[in-house]
Structure 1
């Protein structure tokens, strides 16, 4: 994710033709009364707002992720909050900042206010930062499969993606007294659970799953090849690709750690589905493309510190690349594309996908 200058006030330079096109077709997002210094971002760009900031103009039509964090006078940054919005061409979206909750107000701007702002857009020009179009291609590469329908299926019911899990005491209803009581844990403390409506509604991925009434042979096969799990959860290719990108964006941009865990689970599911690799070549060709763009956006030291702990990504991708090499049923174009991706990762990160992992090596008894 890119950070701009420390203050977001004025427009960023771009060609006149591009600027004219975006002025005609682009959307406007206004955020009123936001305090100076607030962390604000859209897609792959993040800034701290300046004194004049009232929003962003020239937003390309399509799906975007807007996010923000309140910053205290001592410089402490609150957990990040964001939301997906599918901007229409020439849309004018107006939100207001609530200084008491340090969040966007739930009170919507009136139609009259929106109309007034739209009619006076020229006067607001100096208060609106231009969408950083140079990074738009990157955003598209990270979100190309995320549709409005996928957002509606996955986003929290509250509509807000929050980096810090919002917890509340678990409660139970005592039937006799018809009242709620707080549930205590083993240490006699209130049991905390995520607040209803605030959780991202990711697909639950079972580690092991097999057909009902399956034979021992079926169970053994499903334990070694997760194609059955993939087919039972994601019959449509675009559904799994959308969730893979949604999880990654919520992790990379939204700072949601649970989204990182879901991303890992989806990568492992796809890499461990050997039969599906041969049967669904378009899905896995797109999977390689999606993963290529995602890996480019994560700093190399992150892989050292987090992803490679336990050799997650190298071990998982080794299984996928082995399928491409050894399964005669794999589409030739997919095989070539996947192995070129392996060569890219080997060169960039010096990851070894060929040598047998130490934990899988045969034990030599002397």
Structure 2
């Protein structure tokens, strides 16, 4: 065997398999690519990293006979499996088309465990090489060329810890979720109930709750009939001030979410803002690919939390004293947080179809524009402070310039795709309309069309090194 063949074989050995036989006519997707299957048993040649398998099983002949209409094929609930692949790993699942769920285990008996941490090891699926060869003709090759361009940008901050905390992992390291699963950020989910069943774009009325039997008490093997929720970070968007705040402090932190964001990161995310970005990305792929409406609620809440944290856009020296606060605000590392936020949102916007907001979620467009207007104002107000600091600290100046470039790139793309007019970051406040997010330009303000060419042209920057280390001047 020559060196090239040996290298190719070694690379193949590091790739994984996902085996899930589905009925003919089912929908199956991986990492944003979706197709209707014929003779299909799974996916091969999976590279290491996070993968998201989405599927809607076609109804059986018996189920089809009970569906309304003479030729209706029905719309099955979308199910999803999230998993971080390491080196050569194989995951085998079996779909029960009668119960319309994944079988609980290989024998279809014991309930799956769901753990909220990554400390415990995961059981490996042992599959013979002969078995894999027998399935080879019905295994689709991983669509590397189709998904590589967008998948990394959609999941760059999602870690296995993020997945375990929000979705929970079973004994094989898989996070199981479906379109009907509720969230801790739902109005009813926060009180312990799941969301009602919904279709993409319109809610259905009077649908039953979904309850899943799992083992939540791993040490005692206790079985719980409580509904399984997506456990995003918990916060009340309508009550964002510190306990006991009165007067000016109450007014400030009810409008400015900086204290709430800092408190959430410190108390629930181990003081790591990157995990907040990971939850935002996870919420996006769950609602965009799985059509999980509870994740849409979480996404809007997390998006607004970041955009409306005006004080965090200021240098620490320009912020109000935190001596009276029960916990301090984030450090100057919050500036890279905004740089990374703009980058990941650009990737999300580029992934969506150009008519997504107009045809599917116009209300989401209004929410995003209102939040982006607040962020634009906060960044514009902070510009003089960062400029003054940058004259003495070149590293800090570089971070601020990156924020500005990423805003300009986002503004250019959203103008082209959706007709959004986000404007440019200015040293004075820009006046935005209450619901439209449209800017009323000052006479001396530079228009986006003037930024298309030359050294001031906006561009999409490379995110290499974003995750960085803990230095303030490193990007997350």
TM-score over 0.5 (shorter chain): yes
Q: Cα 1:359–1:338, aligned 2, differ >3 Å: closer, same or farther?
A: closer
**Counterpart of 2:236?**
206
Determine which of 254, 275, 278 is the counterpart of 1:239: 275
Q: Cα 1:357–1:343, aligned 2, differ >3 Å: closer, same or farther?
A: same
Say yes or no: does 1:164 pair with 2:180. yes
1:240 Cα shift?
A: 0.8
**Counterpart of 1:98?**
96
**Counterpart of 2:369?**
314
SS at 1:253 equivalent: helix
Determine which of 144, 157, 163 is the counterpart of 2:156: 144
Say yes or no: does 1:37 pair with 2:20. no
TM norm structure 2: 0.61
Say yes or no: does 1:254 pair with 2:296. no
**Counterpart of 1:118?**
129
Gaps of 5+ in 1: 1-15, 171-189, 362-366
**Counterpart of 1:220?**
251
Alpha-carbon distance in structure 2 between the residues aligned to 1:228 and 1:143:
26
Q: Cα 1:92–1:192, aligned 2, differ >3 Å: closer, same or farther?
A: closer
Per mean C-alpha deviation after superposition, the further-off stretch among 78-87 and 94-103 is 94-103
1:349 Cα shift?
A: 2.1
Alpha-carbon distance in structure 2 between the residues aligned to 1:309 and 1:241:
19
Alpha-carbon distance in structure 1 between the residues aligned to 2:141 and 2:10:
13
Per mean C-alpha deviation after superposition, the further-off stretch among 197-206 and 218-227 is 197-206
Give per-residue Cα distances to partners, 1:273-324, cap 9 Å, x unaligned: 0111233111111100110011112223222342456822222111111222
Alpha-carbon distance in structure 2 between the residues aligned to 1:50 and 1:81:
18
Determine which of 356, 362, 383 is the counterpart of 1:302: 356
Determine which of 325, 336, 342 is the counterpart of 2:380: 325
Determine which of 331, 337, 340 is the counterpart of 2:409: 340
Q: Which has the higher contact order (CA 8 A, sep 6+)?
A: 1
Alpha-carbon distance in structure 2 between the residues aligned to 1:76 and 1:332:
52
Alpha-carbon distance in structure 2 between the residues aligned to 1:310 and 1:35:
37
Q: Cα 1:229–1:17, aligned 2, differ >3 Å: closer, same or farther?
A: farther
1:191 Cα shift?
A: 11
1:117 Cα shift?
A: 3.3
Q: Cα 1:205–1:57, aligned 2, differ >3 Å: closer, same or farther?
A: same
Aligned residues: 320
TM norm structure 1: 0.78
Q: Is the 8 A contact 1:145 1:245 kept in 2?
A: yes
Q: Is the 8 A contact 2:163 2:169 kept in 1?
A: no
Alpha-carbon distance in structure 2 between the residues aligned to 1:27 and 1:109:
23
Map 1:33-72 onto structure 2 (within 5 A). 34-51=22-39, 53-72=40-59
Per mean C-alpha deviation after superposition, the further-off stretch among 87-96 and 56-65 is 87-96
Q: Is the 8 A contact 2:370 2:434 kept in 1?
A: no
**Counterpart of 1:173?**
none
Q: Cα 1:57–1:359, aligned 2, differ >3 Å: closer, same or farther?
A: closer
Alpha-carbon distance in structure 2 between the residues aligned to 1:312 and 1:96:
40
1:22 Cα shift?
A: 5.3
Superposed CA RMSD in Å reads 3.1
**Counterpart of 1:274?**
310
**Counterpart of 2:75?**
77
1:222 Cα shift?
A: 0.5
Q: Cα 1:353–1:99, aligned 2, differ >3 Å: closer, same or farther?
A: closer
Give per-residue Cα distances to partners, 1:166-193, cap 9 Å, x unaligned: 8xxx9xxxxxxxxxxxxxxxxxxx9965
Gaps of 5+ in 2: 65-71, 109-123, 183-187, 189-205, 212-225, 267-271, 315-331, 387-399, 424-430, 439-476
Q: Cα 1:191–1:64, aligned 2, differ >3 Å: closer, same or farther?
A: closer
**Counterpart of 1:357?**
433
